[in-house]
């Protein structure tokens, strides 16, 4: 288990990590995600030992490893640019750590063979690095990092140099291998969708602080604040006030400038009379042509744009002065919507609420 305790990091007077605490369980894949400059890469380098920690503790399986240099830590890193040694072959790259750690030759050969098998590069052992494609290089880097069976694997934006399709393939492969080997992994990315797809838990960071830790579903469906809600996908915010809460069914009435909505409240910390922000995801709203008025949670609006893109259509709807972005999946009626003017917007009961401070 990897434990980070109240970690601070200063570069000169610039504080890039302002007290970060986290526990990563054995075999878990945790992703640091956040906008650039949030401190996620610094945190990863601190765990790897490449950067000195200013204060706080890093504890790996009960041992405090703050002062251990990278070569004595049981963590292995995969850099964004792979950092494969260009003057060595694939096999020499994968076997480098074994050689450094004085493994006997035949054992190195066997282990390298096994690792190359694992990443499906059996035939490439004798190739030089620059004769490999980006995806293959990624696999070599991965195999090299795993060669010494580290306790923690650190992945620094490992997919950002691959093209879009390959990214999807590689992230699946990495996840499969990680689960099979049951290796504790810390993943860094600025791509929130990648983060959600690959992780057991997400750590959303901003300005050197952790904003929220949770499973992808928790982060997406129940973000802790406006920043997180907007960071993990598009969101329509709507101001409102709690009119009533039914203590048994948790049915809650929220009044807004556009009408009163009925939702099912999930949080405990919201009381009647609170000012709230409704977090309405574009795909959670259903859209239909014409507006008959009436019915619960239904709003009338005018359809401003309708961009058909195959699997979904991106729509902009004006509710009075308020602009809403709506994603309509499986848009079978595109022909009709294209010509539509008035539309009906249904706000789901599952809308998440943020309490205003």
73: its two tokens:
């830590």
| Cβ closest to another protein, residue 160 vs residue 288 | 160
Strands 251-256 and 236-245: antiparallel
Q: Are 200 and 29 in contact (CB under 8 A)?
A: yes
| Cβ closest to another protein, residue 70 vs residue 273 | 70
Residue 15 CB, nearest distance to another protein (Å)? 17
| Cβ closest to another protein, residue 77 vs residue 353 | 77
| Cβ closest to another protein, residue 26 vs residue 101 | 101
Residue 3 CB, nearest distance to another protein (Å)? 21
20: its two tokens:
């970060």
| Residues within the interface to another protein (CB under 8 A) | 48-51, 69-72, 75-77, 79-87, 96-97, 100-101, 129-130, 134, 137, 144, 147-148, 160-161
Cα(324)–Cα(281) distance, integer angstroms: 10
Residue 294 CB, nearest distance to another protein (Å)? 52
Residue 177 CB, nearest distance to another protein (Å)? 19
Cα(22)–Cα(213) distance, integer angstroms: 9
Cα(152)–Cα(172) distance, integer angstroms: 19
* Host H or E run for residue 315: strand 312-319
| Cβ closest to another protein, residue 39 vs residue 49 | 49
Q: Which residues neighbour 193 within 8 Å (Cβ) at sequence distance 6 or greater? A: 233
Cα(221)–Cα(281) distance, integer angstroms: 9
Residue 159 CB, nearest distance to another protein (Å)? 12
């Amino acid at each position: 288990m990897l434990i980070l305790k109240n970690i601070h990091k200063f570069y000169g007077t610039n504080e890039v990590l302002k007290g970060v605490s986290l526990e990563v369980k054995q075999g878990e894949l945790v992703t640091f995600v956040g906008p650039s400059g949030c401190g996620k890469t610094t945190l990863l380098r601190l765990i790897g030992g490449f950067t000195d920690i200013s204060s706080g503790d890093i504890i790996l399986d009960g041992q405090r490893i703050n002062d251990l240099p990278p070569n004595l830590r049981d963590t292995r890193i995969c850099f964004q640019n792979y950092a494969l040694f260009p003057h060595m072959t694939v096999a020499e790259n994968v076997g480098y750590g074994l050689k450094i750690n004085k493994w006997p030759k035949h054992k190195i050969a066997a282990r390298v063979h096994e690792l190359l098998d694992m990443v499906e590069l059996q035939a490439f052992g004798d190739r030089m690095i620059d004769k490999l494609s980006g995806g293959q290089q990624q696999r070599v880097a991965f195999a090299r990092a795993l060669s010494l069976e580290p306790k923690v694997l650190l992945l620094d934006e490992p997919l950002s140099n691959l093209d879009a399709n390959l990214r999807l393939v590689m992230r699946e492969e990495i996840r499969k291998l990680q689960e099979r080997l049951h290796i504790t992994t810390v993943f860094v990315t600025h791509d929130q969708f990648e983060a959600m797809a690959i992780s057991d838990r997400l750590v959303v960071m901003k300005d050197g602080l952790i904003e929220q830790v949770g499973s992808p579903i928790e982060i997406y469906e129940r973000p802790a604040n406006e920043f997180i809600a907007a960071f993990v996908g598009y969101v329509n915010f709507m101001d409102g006030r709690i009119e009533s809460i039914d203590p048994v069914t948790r049915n809650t009435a929220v009044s807004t400038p556009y009408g009163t909505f009925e939702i099912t409240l999930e949080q405990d910390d919201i009381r009647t009379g609170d000012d709230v922000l409704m977090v309405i995801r574009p795909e959670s709203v259903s859209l239909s042509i014409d507006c008959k008025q009436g019915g619960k949670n239904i709003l009338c609006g005018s359809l401003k744009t309708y961009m058909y893109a195959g699997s979904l259509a991106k729509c902009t709807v004006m509710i009075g002065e308020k602009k809403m972005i709506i994603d309509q999946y499986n848009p079978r009626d595109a022909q009709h919507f294209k010509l539509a003017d008035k539309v009906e917007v249904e706000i789901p009961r599952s809308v998440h609420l943020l309490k205003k401070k």
